[in-house]
């Protein structure tokens, strides 16, 4: 049973902190945006990534982050709050303080905005933005799960029972939704239990948590903290892992190969079908065929892009090495291949 007789503690005024100072304070505990990684549902990071961040381990390979999206989201928070206020008639205000749960001091909270409710109580307002293609994730009353965990964490720290999550995905007031979220003490108890285990068993003891989460994120995490490939390392003998998982990998490879073969057959048949239509269209990009029952609208539009071919790239490297160095970026991608041999 949770003890609800508490007031959140103030850690620091964040209004004048530099980003590095703010990050240093964040490493003192678990913030709302960290929770999804602990629960294994984050679309951005694994629990291993979060662990490394909390103990100050820097990734070997610095990957370019989408700083534009992050900056846009940050700058639009005030606008999202303003739209929410106009739509609801409720007073919205910021409090630029980092708070801490007095009973679970590893729980920290930077709340976007607070809402003054008609009865004088307060609610939390979490402001989000997304691109137009992601708006369906917010349709029909849905809130992405990782944001729900974030706000439930905030309600726990602040001892507040109501919250709103608002999202803007366009430049129109109609491109906006907000949903209420009420406190769920059973879910909150589970969140606190998971966070406490992560903090006390992994972070405080400096023990790496097991790699878990979406495979793409896990593989990216391994790559980020292992560093660049080194071909001079001798062949590694693997132990403690079962060969049957590799047999399953080979089986899936064969299945994938058959599907790709069928895909090529379908592609070839489709191309054969469109030949007479393309021939009649010539340089045209749009066409119409009617058979008395249906109308078929055809488009055959061009896509063009400017690129530097491999040959010209080599010339650029030789003739203008300074420009080549300034405008090219080297990336690394490692391919896992498996070959079965008789022992």
CATH number of the domain encompassing residue 168: 3.90.320.10
Q: Is residue 325 part of a domain?
A: no
1, burial (CB in 10 Å: exposed 0-12, middle 13-18, buried 19+): exposed
pLDDT, average across residues 151-170: 96
Residue 75 and residue 190 share a domain: yes
pLDDT at residue 174, rounded to an integer: 86
Residue 94 and residue 29 share a domain: yes
Which stretch, 93-107, 129-143, 166-180, has highest mean pLDDT?
93-107
Could you tell me the pTM of the whole model?
0.80
List pLDDT tens digits, range 90-124: 999 999 999 999 999 999 999 989 999 999 999 99
Q: Is residue 285 part of a domain?
A: yes
Residue 205 and residue 144 share a domain: yes
Q: Is residue 178 part of a domain?
A: yes
Q: Is residue 311 part of a domain?
A: no
pLDDT at residue 146, rounded to an integer: 95
pLDDT at 302 over 90: no
List pLDDT tens digits, range 3-38: 999 999 999 999 999 989 998 999 999 999 999 999
Residue 169 and residue 64 share a domain: yes
- Provide the percentage of residues in the chain whose pLDDT is more than 90: 65
What is the extent of the structural domain holding 281? 266-302
pLDDT at residue 229, rounded to an integer: 86
- Provide the percentage of residues in the chain whose pLDDT is more than 70: 96
- Name the band, by pLDDT with cuts 50, 70 and 90, for residue 154: very high
Q: Is residue 29 part of a domain?
A: yes
Q: Is residue 257 part of a domain?
A: no
Q: Which two tokens stand for residue 142?
A: 């849905």
Residue 281 and residue 201 share a domain: no
pLDDT at 340 over 70: no
Q: Is residue 189 part of a domain?
A: yes
Residue 163 and residue 80 share a domain: yes
Residue 44 and residue 173 share a domain: yes
Residue 212 and residue 156 share a domain: yes
Residue 135 and residue 271 share a domain: no
pLDDT at residue 306, rounded to an integer: 83
Final residue belonging to a domain, choices 158, 193, 224:
224
* Lowest mean pLDDT across 60-74, 206-220, 226-240: 60-74
pLDDT at residue 335, rounded to an integer: 64
Q: Return the exposure string of 131-170: e unless at least 16 CB atoms fall within 10 Å of the residue's CB, then b.
A: eeeebeebeeeebbebbbbbbbbbbbbbbbeebbbbbbbe
Q: Which one has a higher pLDDT value, 4 or 61?
A: 4
pLDDT at residue 274, rounded to an integer: 92
Distance between CA atoms of residues 72 and 70, nearest Å: 6
pLDDT at residue 65, rounded to an integer: 61
How many domains is the chain built from?
2
List pLDDT tens digits, range 212-232: 888 998 998 888 888 888 889
Q: Is residue 278 part of a domain?
A: yes
pLDDT at residue 61, rounded to an integer: 63
Residue 137 and residue 62 share a domain: yes
């Amino acid at each position: 049973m949770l003890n609800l007789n508490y007031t959140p503690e103030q850690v620091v005024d964040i209004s004048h902190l530099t980003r590095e100072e703010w990050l240093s304070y964040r490493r003192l505990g678990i913030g709302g945006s960290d929770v999804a990684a602990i629960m294994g549902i984050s679309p951005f990071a694994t629990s291993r990534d979060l662990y490394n961040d909390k103990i100050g381990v820097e990734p070997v390979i610095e990957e370019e982050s989408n700083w534009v999206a992050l900056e846009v989201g940050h700058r639009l928070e005030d606008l999202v709050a303003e739209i929410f206020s106009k739509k609801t008639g409720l007073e919205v205000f910021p409090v630029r303080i980092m708070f801490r749960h007095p009973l679970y001091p590893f729980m920290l909270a930077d709340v976007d905005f607070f809402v003054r409710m008609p009865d004088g109580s307060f609610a939390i307002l979490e402001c989000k933005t997304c691109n137009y293609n992601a708006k369906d994730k917010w349709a029909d009353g849905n809130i992405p799960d990782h944001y729900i965990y974030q706000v439930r964490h905030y309600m726990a720290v602040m001892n507040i029972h109501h919250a709103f999550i608002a999202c803007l995905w366009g430049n129109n007031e109609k491109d906006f939704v907000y949903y209420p979220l009420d406190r769920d003490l059973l879910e909150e108890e589970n969140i606190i239990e998971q966070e406490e285990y992560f903090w006390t068993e992994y972070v405080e003891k400096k023990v790496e948590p097991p790699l878990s989460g979406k495979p793409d994120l896990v593989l990216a995490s391994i790559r980020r903290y292992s560093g660049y490939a080194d071909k001079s390392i001798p062949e590694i003998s693997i132990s403690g892992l079962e060969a049957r998982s590799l047999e399953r990998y080979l089986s899936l490879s064969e299945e994938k190969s058959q599907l790709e073969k069928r895909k090529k057959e379908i592609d070839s048949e489709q191309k054969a079908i469109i030949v007479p239509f393309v021939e009649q269209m010539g340089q045209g990009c749009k066409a119409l065929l009617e058979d008395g029952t249906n109308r078929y609208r055809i488009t055959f539009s061009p896509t063009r892009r400017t690129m530097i071919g491999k040959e010209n790239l080599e010339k650029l490297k030789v003739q203008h090495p300074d420009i080549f160095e300034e405008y090219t970026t080297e990336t690394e991608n490692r391919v896992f291949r498996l070959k079965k041999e008789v022992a």
